[in-house]
Amino acid sequence: MERDTARGTEVVGWLRGAAPATGVVILAAHPDDETAGLGAHLPELTRAVLVHVTDGAPRDRRWWGAPHCADRETYARVRREELASALALAGFPSEQVRGLGLVDQEASLDLAHLARSIADLLRELRPDIVLTHPYEGGHPDHDGTAFAVHAACRLLERRGIRPPRLIEFASYFSRGGELVVGDFLPWPGSEPAAVVLSADQRELKARLLACFASQRETLAAVPRGVERFRLAPRYDFTLPPHEGTLHYERFDWGVTGAEWRRRAREAARELGLGGAGWA
């Protein structure tokens, strides 16, 4: 594997070093987010635990990638079957996959509960590393997952438990009205590591992504030749991740940025995390 920065060697070294020992948890919002973000690394992370916050099936069938499904439960099963095919191809054990059972597009409805659930999970598993989403306004579930993971780490600290190191995999966001996929919204002092994939890894990544037939259009823009990671910054979830319209505000996904941030403020108060910048 060729890496274009020393930082890439460092980050991937953490992943490889932790996975056989005290472990890695991959916390993704939807089935397929892990494949889009780090699919080429899944064969190296076969001792990790993969956790999905949602089942990947919104209530509104306009957003189903398999419109022939009779109901939401059927579509959720399609998403599970696609995930199972991809993980089998990557050699990732099915018994190390868990789901928190939320509905797609609804991860931010009760952020306090989600944070407590993730804190309980991390207290059980005691990983050294958690791989998860950045806070970038790409999808409200991505941002909800990011909030809940950061909040869960604070809850662990209050219990006297050392929190895991948070490493982000690249997702997507809007820049000047254009969708950016597989890169990070710039954050001062947090430089991403770009891991350039070998020919074999590029082929594997393409095959893994092809397993998600219901998401073909969405995943078409995912880069096949590079995966990017970075140490998670210290976010202020009460502020927009960037100026202007967020990507998810361009769609009817049930929440605006202002409403999402109101939910985050209320959750922080309920969890006793204090004011702005607590993360």
> Residue 136: what pLDDT?
98
In this predicted model, which residue has the larger pLDDT, 277 or 46?
Answer: 46
> Residue 23: what pLDDT?
87
Quote the mean pLDDT of the chain.
92
Question: Model-level pTM?
Answer: 0.93
pLDDT in tens, 146-194: 999 999 999 999 999 999 999 999 999 999 889 999 999 999 888 898 9
2 - beta bridge partners? 196
> Is a pLDDT exceeding 90 seen at residue 247?
yes
> CB of 48 within 8 A of CB of 24?
yes
Residue 176: CB partners within 8 Å, gap ≥ 6? 244
Quick one: residue 176, left, alpha or beta (phi over 0 = left, psi -120 to 50 = alpha)?
left
> Is a pLDDT exceeding 70 seen at residue 263?
yes
> Is a pLDDT exceeding 50 seen at residue 1?
no
